[in-house]
Amino acid sequence: MAVTAREPDYRIPLANSRSVLDRTRDGARRLIDLVLPQRCAACGTPGTGHGLCGACWSGVDFIAAPVCQRLGTPFPYDPGEAVTSPAAIADPPDFGRARAVARYDGPARALVRSLKFQDRMELAGLMAGLMVRSGQELLETCDVVVPIPLHRRRLFGRRFNQAAALAGRIAGLAGCDYQPMAVQRVKSTRHQVGLSAAERRRNVAGAFRVAVEARPLVEGRRVVLVDDVLTTGATANACARACLRAGAAGVDVLVFARVAAPV
């Protein structure tokens, strides 16, 4: 396992577009984080050091084998061998396989939200480590790790892409090539929350592309797409299709948490 010597900084420095108040607030929060030991991302207990306190860790709904070979959804019983779920047979995804660390619920949801909205970058290393373990099968056959990109407009609003923060670390831990610019988000899609599965598909249709000059980054290679959360898979499917159109040999999806899907 190759580990990168220095963590790259995925935050986007913005000189003029943020208010003084914003910057002062960020500065104050960083100072507090320096002085006080890290708080549990879910319940706020100080001095946890590992993202969550012991009680919240025990509340994480980890996804363990046996899972559907395609969707990575857990089976309520052990089917005995590698099996594809009826859901994956009825509506096969465009990506090959998906794997997740936990269900998007309770403390796992708090971890995702703390990374995304509170700038808790130290959580990215911890979450990436867990993702490498859950995605072992995918990473064994992986040539290149690519984060599911945000549209430029949303990137500026949030200052960093949490998927890239995870993907860079995962590539480093697994010893895979890391290409954060391989796929572009060319359409600013509205939030998927509250949309039906069909609406989500329409919403992300044509949202991603691999630029001609980026084609060699994915052509003939096995891609692992990384994101923080998998909901219906519409976004992951659209991104996978863009990679496949650019000639990728295969596309798998590795996320930290997935919204529980009925089996």
Which residues are at the interface with Zn ion (CB under 5 A)? Answer: 40, 42-43, 45, 53, 56
Question: Is the Cβ of residue 110 or residue 238 nearer to Zn ion in the bound state?
Answer: 110
Query: Considering the complex, what minimum distance in angstroms separates the CB of residue 59 from Zn ion?
Result: 8
Instruction: Give me the DSSP letters along 102-143.
Output: EESSHHHHHHHHHHHHS--THHHHHHHHHHHHHTHHHHHT-S
Nearest-approach distance from CB 53 to Zn ion, in angstroms? 3
Nearer to Zn ion among residue 43 and residue 181 (C-beta) = 43
Q: Which is nearer to Zn ion, 45 or 69 (CB)?
A: 45
Question: How crowded is residue 28: how many other Cβ atoms within 10 Å of its Cβ?
Answer: 10
Tokens 């703390």, located at residue: 114
Q: Which residues contact 244 (CB under 8 A, 6 or more apart)?
A: 94, 251
User: Residue 40 or residue 244: which is nearer to Zn ion going by CB?
Assistant: 40
Q: Is 177 exposed, middle or buried (0-12, 13-18, 19+ CB in 10 A)?
A: middle
Shortest distance (Å) from residue 23 CB to Zn ion:
29
Distance between CA atoms of residues 181 and 210, nearest Å = 9
Closer by beta carbon to Zn ion, 60 or else 254 = 60
Q: How far is the CB of 57 from Zn ion (least distance, A)?
A: 8
CB atoms within 10 A of CB 185: 23
Residue 239 in tokens: 């991104």
Written as six digits, the tokens of 44 are 């706020």
- How near is the Cβ of 256 to Zn ion at its closest, in Å? 17
